Each structure stands twice: as C-alpha cells, then as structure tokens.
Amino acid sequence: MNIEGDQCIDAGSEYCPCYLAEMNSCITCSRLRGKDYCDCNWPGLCIYQEFHFLNQKKKNIREARETLIIDKEIIEKNIIIFTLEVPHSLARQLKQPGSYIFIRNKDLEGFFDIPISIMDANEHSNYIKIAVEIQGVKTQAIKEVNDSLLIRGPYWNGIFGLENLKKAKGKSCLIIARGIAQAPAILTIKHLLHNNNIIDVIVDKASSNINLISEYTMANLLEDDINFYSREGQEKINLFLSMKKYDLVFIGGSDYLQKNLFKNLNLSEMKIVVTNNNELCCGEGICGACVVYDAGGIPIRSCKTQVNYKK
C-alpha cells in the first residue's frame, strides 16, 4: 500500500486560513505555497482570496477551554470513559467521523496535551464521550482528575479515507477494530448507519477485554473473541470476507496491525478507511511530529491532510 496526500481537512472551515497560510506553507492553496499560479482544485471559497481579505492574517485558532466532567467510568483498571459537558456548537462539530480533541489536566502545561478520538457526541444534550487508555506520563496525569479537563478542538483528521466513508450509502460495510481503537469506530458506524449502510463488526478486545462497539451501537457483531495478529484470526476474517461482498472496510488499530492485515487479508476491490495513528502533537501542521511521506518522498502533514491508500 502506498499513501497519497489529499486536501486539508480544515479547508473552507472557520479555522481556514491558518498558521500555514501565514508561513507560505498552505496544504491546499498553491499560491500560499509560493507558486505564482493556482492549481489547487479546491471547489470551495478561494483560500488565497480569503487570506488577503483578512489582511494576510489567519483566522482565529482553536483555544483550550475548561469542560466539566459529567461522568467518569473506569473499565478494566486502565480504561477511563469520560463524559464531558461541551457547548452545543462543539458537540455538533464533533459528531463527524474522525473527530478528535486534545485534552489535559488543567493544572499542567500544554506539553501534557493528549490527542483523543471522540467516541460519541450528543448535540441535543451537549456532551461528548471519550475513552482514554492509561499508559504513559500524559495519561497518568488525568487518571485522578474528577472535576474538569482542558480540551482543545474540534479537529477532524482522526481517520483516513473520509471520502470513501462519506460516499458510502446503501452499501455493505465491515468494521475491524482492536482494543481502544473501537472508540473512533463508533462515530464511523453511526455515520454509516445514518446513510442506510449494512454494518458487520469484528472486534479484537485485546488486553483491554472490552467491547465498546456493542455497548454504544446497534451494529451486527460477527465476532469479538479473536486475535487479529494470529494466523487463525486472520483466516477467520478472510472467511467472513469470502461469505459476503463488502464494499467498504474500516480497520481500527495500530499501523503495524493495518500493514499486517493489508498484507494477509483479501481486501481487493474494497474501499478502505483506517484510523490515523501518527504522532499528533500540535494539530495545526506546524511541529512536524505527524509528517509521513508518500511514494515520491513528499512530506504530508497527517494531522491536517487526508491520506488515501493506493494499492
């Protein structure tokens, strides 16, 4: 599988143009990358024109805000599900598949920001749910927090293949998700169900030993006692793939797992959607922590750029 960069996820949003436009490094606009001609193929409002209308300044950035913890549920000792009260507009924005936010303990500095996928968002009751796996220093810093968290968002590039996802209507879809990667799969499933797709799910509970998808969605569960890394587990997935013609497959798990499944599963002629597992540090395309490279060695800022997988 080769990767190919596509449009910036923030293009045309209330956060565009951004810092990258000011630094002559816009992902979408060729004029704002120093070229003297336009070849952006962007169908929305001209970013170059908007930038000059704003006197060559970026729009407002995403600011951190304190949010109340409505509920905190500890599962299997190292998984915490937070329910956070958020403004109505933010809950609506975070309903999109691939949405994520940065969270941190309000008593600590920005170095402790953690990118976390949105598991669920309710714009009627104005809350969001996130699932946090306690592993390192950053997540340990929020383990004992019970009153409020600082959050920064919305961000939307938590999954790759959004175009495939949004075009799927009345299709047959298979969700393959392991461990905590079930969390971003939930918004994906709800979006697919809203568009009248038929959903089957295979879950590897991994060390977390939880099945979040069955708890938060009505998708049809094929299997949740399976090891995606084992030969037996992959043969079982291939059996499911052979029994039904799937139009789209979502894979939630590490990059290593994704590559393993791409290699050993029969995914030909299927549209692919995967979780974005790259190092997301600033979320604004500035720091370079998230950069990956396409087949031609061109850097892609994966916190903001949609990535397509090409066979």
Backbone angles phi, psi at 130, to 5 degrees: -130, 150
CA–CA dist 40, 311 (Å, integer): 24
Is residue 48 included in any domain, yes or no? no
By three-state DSSP, how is residue 89 classified?
A: helix
196 burial (CB, 10 Å; 0-12 / 13-18 / 19+) is exposed
What residues contact residue 197 under an 8 Å CB cut-off, 6+ apart?
A: 168, 169, 170, 171, 172, 173, 248
139 and 168 in a common domain: no
Is residue 110 included in any domain, yes or no? yes
268 and 223 in a common domain: yes
Of 155, 181, 204, the last residue of a domain is: 155
Nearest partner of 103 among 74, 125, 129, 71, judged by Cα: 129
Is residue 309 included in any domain, yes or no? no
Of 115, 132, 155, the last residue of a domain is: 155
Residue 11 and residue 304 in contact, taking contact as beta carbons nearer than 8 Å: no
Residue 310 pLDDT: 62
Q: Total structural domains in the chain?
A: 2
Is residue 273 included in any domain, yes or no? yes
Is residue 304 included in any domain, yes or no? no
What residues contact residue 137 under an 8 Å CB cut-off, 6+ apart?
A: 112
138 and 95 in a common domain: yes
Q: Letter for the amino acid at 284? A: E
Looking only at the bridges linking them, the beta strands covering 198-204 and 220-223 are parallel
Residue 147 and residue 172 in contact, taking contact as beta carbons nearer than 8 Å: no
Residue 47 and residue 16 in contact, taking contact as beta carbons nearer than 8 Å: yes
Residue 278 and residue 303 in contact, taking contact as beta carbons nearer than 8 Å: yes
Nearest partner of 153 among 107, 190, 98, judged by Cα: 98
145 and 115 in a common domain: yes
252 and 167 in a common domain: yes
173 and 270 in a common domain: yes
288: left (phi over 0), alpha (psi -120 to 50) or beta: left
Of 155, 178, 196, the last residue of a domain is: 155
Q: Letter for the amino acid at 192? A: L
CA distances from 6 to 1, 46, 248 (A): 16, 17, 19
CA–CA dist 213, 189 (Å, integer): 9
167 and 127 in a common domain: no
Is residue 60 included in any domain, yes or no? no
184 and 245 in a common domain: yes
pLDDT in tens, the chain (311 residues): 567 777 899 999 999 999 999 999 999 999 999 999 998 889 999 999 999 999 999 999 999 999 999 999 998 789 999 999 999 999 999 999 999 999 999 999 999 999 999 999 999 999 999 999 999 999 999 999 999 999 999 999 999 999 999 999 999 999 999 999 999 999 999 999 999 999 999 999 998 889 999 999 999 999 999 999 999 999 999 999 999 999 999 999 999 999 999 999 999 889 999 999 999 999 999 999 999 998 888 899 999 999 876 65
113 and 76 in a common domain: yes
Task: Quote the tokens at residue 290.
Answer: 């998230």
Domain of residue 248, CATH code? 3.40.50.720
Is residue 94 included in any domain, yes or no? yes
Residue 311 pLDDT: 55
Q: What is the pTM of this model?
A: 0.94
Q: Which domain holds residue 217?
A: 159-279
Is residue 264 included in any domain, yes or no? yes
Domain of residue 133, CATH code? 2.40.30.10
135 and 182 in a common domain: no
CA–CA dist 50, 129 (Å, integer): 34
